[in-house]
Chains A and B, each alone.
Chain A
């Protein structure tokens, strides 16, 4: 069993509206899994089904090979996008309450809270009320509460919203560390740069259907177009361009670098290799820049959504 969580053709209707249409995903153990999609695609519905907040109309969700049951709540830590805390309750009391709801004993919860509060250096907030904290500070508490019971599966819905770059980085490192300690993470966001940084696997949901999923690198390989960014230094740019144009397909280039006279995107057809191109180019000009164009998660996202 290599997948911690498997959803098998899950469907959900709200009245006449189909929120999820036979969506299947597999989240490998120990991975960070990006659940992507435009607003209103059905991500939150799927996450709520995994959390047993709503029940699917069709399909099944397996955790560790077992159909979801109520005791699985303890194995999941969920940070919803719509989140908040009781405003007039004290930080410590509230964290203890939420931890106990997740099945921790009071003494256990206290010990672990102390560890986390020391780690994030927020110990002095224990007796403050939530309404006395800033939004980012409250988010930190929320994060601690989510991971406190050491769940096998962590689900973060836009975890970085409300954090400044320093704290966002701090939280990102904590997520990576949790992954290294054996947790599996499902990560839902619109911020593609954090997908790039964190995710090993992604699934893209669009208009209630899953339109793409798999290992992020594999997907990128699938989406790459055999195009190379080339930066050349030459005294006769027009002439060189003309020569290259005769042999290869040249696209306008937009990359930035310091001092190349000529910037080109060159697309190779099936038979030519990058070595062929490189050796051809070295005879015409001095090559300063030679990189394969790898599609970013952002490109893949936009391209897939537009095509569907």
Chain B
């Protein structure tokens, strides 16, 4: 096993000392931050732009709803024909003209509203106008049929269903959001890790082939030792990079938000947004308390242990396949045909995780996919926050480990034969033959 540690050490050091690795490690978080900052800045710029919209309301019923806001200034026109109004708007270079036709009955007004503009108008502005008009027209219709609008407003009720399992654990919507966030982050992290560092392993195997050192090495160590050493060494380099990214990213975020005062809350992931929404309800204090409770309600110990095992298991499973691909081909362009079967289950896992687990964490689809070894690491990690029975976790982990052993055996076979094969672009049939050498 002394050999293994030597190989791991070499792989780790060459990866970490590699110039492009260092540059990527330092620059990636900075580029990310810069990108986020630019996007945030641009969207702010866009939001701040004030647009003027002319309104020609011939019905005379709706003028009261056009109140100037931060983004839109309304220019109310009166006693003017539509043609003249359009001309005027054009001459003044105003953003657009909203025209409400003259109709006596409320029923038909909605069908005679039109927006004229130079270019097709922004979707948010149109839907904003539509909302305003709809609300006002609904109110007017209700009034006409003799309904007291005040009464309707006061009788509107907000319901937040409290949840309690049969064993007495209370939870709420916030719990679920938090669970989703945890599961999603864990699953996504694994997905990214596999793609980035799996590729790195593959490239390093190919490099050994093209530099023709492989036979020298193989006459000293067993192929499986070399393969495992590569996988572990590269993973350690990957973890190093990830940790540096987290630290740098954190520092950069902190500095950026301190200096430029960019409101970070504005650019968050959908999950965080959902949390934000949940928190921005009234009774803020109570909500925060609930979030804290929800956090402590999570099966934290289970999460951490499962994360470690499924992450390692899933990562090793995939990286051994990447190593096998690297061994089978001569150069990176030949890898395409073998990449698909690896990426498919991975992408499938993420889709199942995102769409099915959120909807129904313990449904048939989620459960089945959390047992199939190629998808189980991602899907199970997303399911676990919702509470998965230990026997299921163990069974899934057992299957994963079993498959991992098989894939390492398989990869080692391909690896042993493939690393000494040059100049051939292997087909699947060829690979099958290699298994029997």
A residues sitting closer than 8 Å to B (CB atoms) are 14-15, 48, 51-54, 70, 73, 76, 78-80, 82-89, 97-98, 100-102, 142, 145
Contact = CB atoms under 8 A, between A and B. Distances in A.
Contact of B222 (A54, A70, A78): A70
A253 to B, nearest CB: 45
B6 A51 contact: no
Interface in B220-234: 220-222
A76 B219 CA distance: 9
A157 to B, nearest CB: 9
B420 interface: yes
Interface in B396-436: 416, 420, 422, 433, 436
Contact of A89 (B14, B212, B422, B436): B14
A48 B6 CA distance: 23
Contacts of B422: 82
B216 interface: yes
A87 to B, nearest CB: 5
Nearest to B208: A86
Given A83-B212, A83-B213, A101 B3 contact: yes
A70 B437 CA distance: 20
15 contacts: A15-B436, A15-B437, A70-B222, A78-B219, A79-B216, A80-B215, A80-B219, A82-B420, A83-B212, A84-B216, A85-B211, A87-B211, A98-B216, A98-B220, A101-B220
Contacts of A98: 216-217, 220
A250 to B, nearest CB: 51
B39 to A, nearest CB: 37
B219 A73 contact: yes
Given A14-B437, A15-B433, A51-B219, A84 B14 contact: no
Interface of B: 3, 6-7, 10, 14, 18, 208, 211-213, 215-222, 416, 420, 422, 433, 436-437
B212 A84 contact: yes
A83 B218 CA distance: 11
Nearest to B437: A14
A14 B421 CA distance: 12
A194 to B, nearest CB: 22
A85 B14 CA distance: 14
A171 B211 CA distance: 23
Given A80-B215, A84-B212, A86-B211, A97 B10 contact: yes
B364 to A, nearest CB: 44
A163 B7 CA distance: 30
Nearest to A57: B437
B221 A82 contact: no
Contacts of B222: 70
Given A70-B222, A73-B219, A86 B213 contact: yes
Given A101-B3, A101-B217, A145-B216, 18 more contacts: A15-B436, A15-B437, A51-B219, A53-B218, A53-B219, A53-B420, A54-B416, A78-B216, A78-B219, A80-B215, A85-B213, A86-B14, A87-B211, A88-B18, A89-B14, A97-B6, A101-B6, A101-B220
A53 B7 CA distance: 18
A14 B219 CA distance: 20
Contacts of B216: 78-80, 83-85, 98, 142, 145
Contacts of B433: 15
Contacts of A78: 215-216, 219
A216 B185 CA distance: 71
B381 to A, nearest CB: 36
B220 to A, nearest CB: 4
A86 B213 CA distance: 7
Contacts of B420: 48, 53, 82
Contacts of A48: 420
Contact of B220 (A82, A83, A89, A102): A102
Nearest to B226: A101
A52 B215 CA distance: 11
For B212, B216, B218, B221, the residue with the greatest tally of chain A CB atoms inside 10 Å of its CB is B216
B212 A82 contact: yes
Contacts of A76: 219
B14 A83 contact: no
Contacts of B212: 82-84
Nearest to B9: A97
Contacts of B18: 88
Contact of B215 (A83, A89, A145): A83
B420 to A, nearest CB: 7
Contacts of B6: 97, 100-101
A89 B216 CA distance: 15
B210 to A, nearest CB: 8
A48 B417 CA distance: 12
Nearest to A97: B10
A102 B422 CA distance: 25
A130 B422 CA distance: 22
Nearest to B217: A101
**Residue of A14, A51, A52, A80 with most chain B CB atoms under a 10 A cut-off:** A80
Nearest to B10: A97
A243 B213 CA distance: 65
A100 B220 CA distance: 10
Nearest to B212: A84
Contacts of B215: 53, 78, 80, 82-83
Contacts of A85: 211, 213, 216
B225 to A, nearest CB: 10
Contacts of A14: 437
A52 B218 CA distance: 9
Contacts of B217: 98, 101
Nearest to B436: A15
B100 to A, nearest CB: 72
Nearest to A81: B215
A53 B218 CA distance: 7
A54 B416 CA distance: 8
B211 A84 contact: yes
